[in-house]
Copies of this chain bind each other. A is one copy, B any other.
Amino acid sequence: MEQLFTAARTHNGWLDKEVPDSLLELALDYAKWGPTSANCSPLRVVFVRSNEAKARLGPAMSPGNHDKTMAAPATAIIGYDLDFHEHLPVLYPAADAKSWFAGNDALIEETAFRNGTLQAGYFILSLRAVGLDVGPMSGFDKAKVDAEFFVGTKIRSNFLINIGYGDSSKLYPRGPRFAFEDMARII
């Protein structure tokens, strides 16, 4: 639980330590088993690793997120696919789930955003479970990222995750969290 939750931190600086592609694949292959509604599985990920790909991502970053993103061993663009329902005949053969969504753009958007984000939560923890550190970020230009990496698809960017082995000397002080009774009640 320390590695996943209580001791893990959001990192802003990265050690010069190799992150193999195989470890990123392993983490995503764990995360994909987490539950989504009707197994809709809308999460899509682009791992930005090469200098060429980082150069395409750079102009979309907000100033405070630019340098640490360019320095990270990998940056995952977390997206969700608005065409997810096209795969439901395979992913959820028990019912005609595709027909629940086709033509209902509001339900498609809400379902893709909710379940794609849930899967991203699983992925953040599976990255930590395989020993990596993460730095998730919302500060970037989504339209620019979509135009650069998802053109010609119905995939939309959600947020970004810098991935590597964190440099603990660059951590900020940890923010407080709510007490149980300030975020929950049992009735």
> In the complex, what residue of chain B is closest to A7 when comparing beta carbons?
B33
Q: Number of A residues whose C-beta is below 8 Å from B?
A: 66
Cα(A39)–Cα(B138), bound, Å:
12
Copy number of this protein in the oligomer? Answer: 2
A49 B175 Cβ-Cβ under 8 A: no
Inter-chain contact B25/A6, CB cutoff 8 Å: no
- Please give, as numbers and ranges, the residues of chain B lying within 8 Å of A113 by CB-CB distance: 113-114, 117
| 11 intermolecular pairs with C-beta atoms under 8 Å apart | A4-B126, A5-B33, A8-B33, A35-B136, A44-B183, A46-B187, A53-B187, A117-B118, A118-B124, A119-B121, A122-B124
Check B124–A35 contact: CB distance below 8 A.
yes
Which residues of A are in contact with B by a Cβ distance under 8 Å? 1, 4-6, 8, 10, 21, 24-25, 28-35, 37, 39, 41, 43-50, 52-53, 87, 90-94, 111, 113-114, 117-122, 124-126, 129, 134, 136-138, 158-159, 172, 175-178, 180, 183-187
From the candidates B44, B125, B158, name the one contacting A34 in the complex (CB within 8 A).
B125
The smallest beta-carbon distance between A70 and chain B, in angstroms, is: 15
A186 touching B114 by the CB < 8 A rule?
A: no
- Which one, B49, B129, B158, B177, contacts A32 given CB within 8 A? B177
Q: Please report the C-alpha to C-alpha distance between residue A125 and residue B118 in the assembled complex, in whole angstroms.
A: 11
